[in-house]
Amino acid sequence: MLPDAVERLNVLVEGHRIASIGAPDSARADEVIDANGLHLLPGLIDDQVHFREPGLTHKEDLHFATRACAKGGVTSFLEMPNTKPTTTTLQALDAKLAIAAQKCHVNYGFYVGATPNNLEVLQAATRTPGIKIFIGSSTGDLLVDAQPALERIFAETTLPICAHCEDETTVQANAARLNGGSEVSDHSLIRDHKAALIATKRSVELAERHRHRFHVLHVSTAEEVEFLRGTSDLITAEACPHHLFFNVDDYARLGTLIQMNPSVKTSADNEAVWRGLLDGTLEVVATDHAPHTLEEKRQPYPKSPSGLPAVENYLALLLNEVNRGRCTLSQIAAWTSAAPARIWNIQEKGQIREGYDADLVLVDLNKTQTILNENQLTKCGWSPWHGETLSGWPIRTWVMGRTVFADGKVIDGVRGEEIRYCRVNT
């Protein structure tokens, strides 16, 4: 699986790098893997996860989450700042990176979170892919909704920005109209199409006016997809599995297990988000992996928290769609590897290319397996796709040239490395 084509050839890895593509059969190697009938993909880069460490490690932590990554073919992740403490200072960012160096089985990076009052931090941060803004409800001081603060962030920083886009005024008005909601289906009425579209338009207007690179996280509506078709090259956007595969009709079956922010929408929105991916309007598929314990999730709405685990299964979900004819392996490689590497300026990752890091995943399109809660490696120990049988699974994963998952098991001694970024002017 090369940057934009599927070819039959040999890949030679030396140390942590891809040394040769198309190496002769006579090339000498310490280990030779017969991948006949299988496909080699660049390791996935999940650019939107919540791994809960520090502060919320009863739900998830970097050890368990990155074991799940390895099993799922994810070789690098970028994690969001809404931990405890939030990642809104350079000290908090450095502390996360230090923990990750000791615990992560795959490569790691952490966003710096914007607040109304930490502009100097956003200007000084370097060991980060970019800035995360919550334009909509969040925890602690991470909500940035006032226009003057947003103007300064877009005007006076240079790192790429991404945002959770749901208009706080609209969400609060909907909640008041519904008295806070009494059942989980109300969640999609409170966090409705209008809330998503207003905030996405507002953010894109800021980015285009200030000529600042901006990435729209977890697009959930047909209206957003249509709007994003007319934006400039400064704007990129992504989809998440729950907005591709779940909709309001699934509340009857899954209830609060699929409660998410932004909320799941309609089946028509599912199809629109798929169309956005297939026509290039949306460039990335990321998980928004946000686990909670089953006890927490099963609380009656609105006490139930939003978020679900996905990092372990999202490659298999996409491979299943290849078998169904909806998308191709080349598209998956673009959405999950090449595009996030480009958008976040990640050095030497995201493609099977000579000189690039040997972050790789071997997949078997013919392997059929059922997702079961009891087999999940994520610390929360459940999946909203429990009981679903998929065709197409990762069977071996390499991080920096070292096998981290094979024969159904994670190799616990392997550690990932801090992701490197190539800084460009925005």
Distances (CA, A) of 10 to 5, 177, 415: 15, 61, 26
With a cut of 70, say whether residue 248 has pLDDT above it.
yes
Lookup: tokens for 354? 């000579």
Average pLDDT of the chain? Answer: 96
Q: What is the pLDDT of residue 426?
A: 46
Q: What is the pLDDT of residue 3?
A: 55
What size, in residues, is the chain?
Answer: 426
pLDDT tens-digit readout, 54-85? 999 999 999 999 999 999 999 999 999 999 99
- Which whole number is the average pLDDT over 12-29? 93
- C-alpha 285/C-alpha 337 separation (Å) is 9
> Which residue matches tokens 């891809």?
18
Lookup: tokens for 380? 């929360």
Could you write out the three-class secondary structure of the chain? CECCECCCCCEEEECCEEEEECCCCCCCCCCCCCCCCCEEEECEEEEEECCCCCCCCCCCCHHHHHHHHHHHCEEEEEECCCCCCCCCCHHHHHHHHHHHHHHCCCEEEECEECCCCCHHHHHHCCCCCCEEEEECCCCCCCECCCHHHHHHHHHHCCCCEEEEECCHHHHHHHHHHCCCCCCHHHHHHHCCHHHHHHHHHHHHHHHHHCCCCEEECCCCCHHHHHHHCCCCCCEEEEECHHHHHCCHHHHHHHHHHHCCCCCCCCHHHHHHHHHHHHCCCCCEECCCECCCCHHHHCCCCCCCCCCCCCCCCHHHHHHHHHHHCCCCHHHHHHHHHHHHHHHCCECCCCCCCCCCECCEEEEEEEEEEECCHHHCCCCCCCCCCCCCEEEEEEEEEEECCEEEEECCEECCCCCCCECCECCCCC
Confidence class for position 312, pLDDT limits 50, 70, 90: very high
pLDDT tens-digit readout, 280-311? 999 999 999 999 999 999 999 999 999 999 99
- C-alpha 269/C-alpha 292 separation (Å) is 26
- What is the value of pTM for the model shown? 0.97
Q: What is the pLDDT of residue 145?
A: 84
With a cut of 90, say whether residue 6 has pLDDT above it.
no
Examine the residue annotation and report whether 288 is marked as an active-site residue of this protein: yes
Q: What is the pLDDT of residue 424?
A: 63
- C-alpha 111/C-alpha 47 separation (Å) is 10
pLDDT tens-digit readout, 116-158? 999 999 999 999 999 999 986 555 678 888 899 999 999 999 9
- C-alpha 245/C-alpha 233 separation (Å) is 28
Decide: 394 and 410 in contact? Cβ < 8 Å.
Answer: no
What residue segments make up the domains of the chain, in order of their start? 40-410
**Candidates 61, 167, 269, 288; catalytic one:** 288
- Which whole number is the average pLDDT over 192-199? 97
The CATH class of 40-410 is alpha beta
